[in-house]
Amino acid sequence: MKVMKFGGTSVGSVESILKVKAIVEAVEEPVVVVVSALGGVTDQLLRAAKLAVQGNAAYDKEFNSLKQRHYMMVQEVLPDAYRQTAVLKTIDQLLEELQNILRGVFLIRDLSQKTSDVIVSYGERLSSLIVARMLEGSRAIDVRQFIKTEKQFNKHIVDFKLTNRLIGELGAIEGVTVVPGFIAADKKTDEITNLGRGGSDYTASIFAAALHADRLEIWTDVDGFMTADPKVISSAYVIEELSYVEAMELSNFGAKVLYPPTIFPAFHSNIPILIKNTFNPQATGTYISRTKRTPHTSAIQGISSIDDTSLITLQGLGMVGVIGINYRIFKALSAAGISVFMVSQASSENTTSFAVKNADADLSVEVLNKEFQIEINQGEINTIVAEKELATVAVVGENMKRTPGIAGKLFGTLGRSGISVIACAQGASETNISFVIQKEYLRKALNSIHDSFFLSEYQVLNLFIIGIGTVGSRLLEQISRQQKTLMEQFRLKLTVVGVANSKKLLLTRDGLNPETCIQELKERGVASSPNLLSEEILKMNIFNSVFVDCTASAEIAGLYGKLLSRNVSVVSANKIAASSDYDNYLHLKEIARVTGGKYLFETNVGAGLPIINTMNALINSGDKILKLQAVLSGTLNFIFNTISQDICFSRAIRMAKEAGFSEPDPRIDLSGVDVIRKLVILSREAGYAINQDDVVKQLFIPEQYFEGSIDNFWKTIPELDAEFETRRRQLESEGKKYRFVAEMDNGRCSVGLRAVDRTHPFYELEGSNNIIMITTERYNEYPMIIKGYGAGASVTAAGVFSDIISIANIR
């Protein structure tokens, strides 16, 4: 024999109630069916009562709407005219009673709790009548004759001894018995009471325990308990098994799958509970029992939250060592009917904090200020205040008590996400770690925790890609091609949640298709600016977020500090920030260190070559970099490799631009500014405090060619062709080549054109390649050499991509 409870959504429409019929009729054993009111009816009854007590005649409109809905339901689910007539006669009697009660409330403008309880009881009384008639051969019972309550602290508490005896008098259950949920009666007066919102679950559990059922099934509109709220975390999935304790913890902290008191009667009688979905009956559901059938390996089972939290704090030196303070706190709150769902106390006893719902916050403060008025007046306790609009998160799992380091990992995850914990609590059972945070960080906290504890199928990085020109567009192409491999092999999911160019911005928490997002930006993007961009990104407050700068904009580089301070990692192909004033460079690095975020800029030097990472590895392992010699401009190397008897200097410059090696304005490359920036970055990463003004510049183009417009540059630069051809022939006769070399020697930096012979490692450097020689204490006689493509959109994009992947720390 089993008990099956069907919620409001399960009996809320013709389609769903017929599903209930099919589910129940497929059961081959005796069954008790507990039903809620039709979906939304309890709220409709409360609205009608509220309108009536306000003297608003619109209550009658609510009543008529409710009446027509029940009529329609009868006509649709009971095709037999005889049965329709019989059930409608009883429904009309109930509705007439309800209408008279509402009319009385309207006339006298008074709505007591007793009258409100009677009004809301009609929802279940009506729905159970329809379901009983729909299920042929079933019997309906008046639950008021069986579940009895007594009043304690203004709440109706079940008298289990009396209730169990009355239900037991039903004897052996045969066939189908239909019971209205939620409703009860006072054991002394027989007046209608109820078990609270969600009380139909409780009704089913009470009957299951009293009748010694084999199983309790709760049929609802979800597949079971989820690892987290799926509305917040799309990757949340169904938990197939829970212990009673885990289910209770998750329910108490906001998981709306099960009314928390439901668990106690089932636990006490060791009756397993199965959560099932009326709309997806094939789903496995969640099985709740004392002992799990399959051992669970994860330390935590699920994450639950309450976004309706206020924190009340009592603080004062006068509390230290005083016996009875907490007794007085909770006695006063209990007398006022205030429920506390989390308590946190400092071991010094000078602070006690507890969480209540926002609606109870002001009353809590009022009650406690009155209780401790003498201590407050004497300065022993500070004035009691409530911090409102907070959220409480609970991480639940019985395996936590056997796993060291869970709390450390939890709070470390929150810290890296920039989320401050206001208060926390953990019982000695170690099945629940609860903490209070600012409400605005709730979504980010849930996602971070879910991802960190591998409840998510994938580790997720949320990318904001700024600049969708040559490098940015190639990066999107590479992400698109590699996404599937990263997900399959490394369980890493890269989600592009934002793209922007200099004019438009497009952000979406759900993610964009890398293949189509550039077109979507054109079609759906909104007007943007650097400030608006940073504001909107921070407003999203999304976890594991990475700001990817593929621009050359100083304004965009200026956003890094603000983003890093809010735990948004930065991956930059933009050299401006890392080569800016040395103090700013240090500031950005320090912010990243403090927040635990990442500031990565490998592509600032050498495009996709692993130069900075290699240098960092050397230094972190105890080596010291003494000297750097490098050809760092793929553009300039291309130009000097391209100049020949047939290709003049100005033509080589134009070819570099057409090939995408140079900046849109090649004067940036020709001026040596780009190389100076790269040398400054490398010197800093090598451990030297260098600014751009410290670099000795030996340039090869007169200053006048950098003045005026770009058009004027293209007109005048051919004037140098003859001079460079003469110099080229001279070098050729000597067996040498020009290389624009950057050098750092024990903190002294210079850039300039150098003639190198065939014995030099730079001589055979082809095309737009870069090369760097790193002399260290270890690599002294034979410097380390890194060489390869140093320019081009694809290799730069690949370097940016590599930095993004490194944030996920996969190998």
Which residues are tagged catalytic?
A: 678
Could you give the angle at which helices 199-210 and 160-168 cross, rounded to 10 degrees?
A: 60
One-letter amino acid for residue 232 of the chain? V
Q: How far apart are CA 284 and CA 276, in angstroms?
A: 7
Q: How far apart are CA 696 and CA 744, in angstroms?
A: 10
Q: How far apart are CA 345 and CA 325, in angstroms?
A: 12
Residue 148 per-residue DSSP state:
E
DSSP, collapsed to helix, strand or coil, labels residue 449 as helix
Got the DSSP string for 385-423? EEEEEEEEEEEE-GGGGG-TTHHHHHHHHHHHTT----E
Other Cβ atoms closer than 10 A to 376:
19
Measure the CA angle with vertex 782, ends 776 and 787; round to 5°. 85
* Location of structure tokens 């490799």: 641
Phi, psi of 392 (to 5 degrees): -115, 135
CB-based contacts of 291-298 (< 8 A; 24+ apart in sequence): 291/243, 292/241, 292/242, 292/243, 293/241, 294/240, 294/241, 296/241, 296/397, 296/399, 297/399, 298/397, 298/399, 298/453, 298/454, 298/455
Q: How far apart are CA 755 and CA 763, in angstroms?
A: 9
Q: Which helix (H) or strand (E) holds 159?
A: none
* Tokens linked to 309: 């939290």
Beta-carbon contacts of 557 under 8 Å, excluding residues fewer than 6 positions away, are 549, 572, 574, 576, 577, 580
Measure the CA angle with vertex 761, ends 755 and 765; round to 5°. 75
Sequence-ordered strand ranges (E) for 407-485: 423-426, 432-438, 459-466
CA 445 to chain CA centroid, nearest Å:
6
* Tokens linked to 310: 């206020």
Residue 600, beta-bridge partner list: 571
**Burial of 617 per CB tally in 10 Å (0-12, 13-18, 19+):** exposed
Q: How far apart are CA 347 and CA 126, in angstroms?
A: 54
Other Cβ atoms closer than 10 A to 793:
20
* Tokens linked to 477: 């192409």
Q: Which helix (H) or strand (E) holds 374?
A: helix 373-377
Q: How far apart are CA 418 and CA 592, in angstroms?
A: 11
Q: Residue 540 in contact with residue 514, Cβ under 8 Å?
A: no
- By 3-state DSSP, what share of the chain in percent is helix, strand and coil, each rounded to 5? 45, 25, 35
Phi, psi of 234 (to 5 degrees): -65, -25
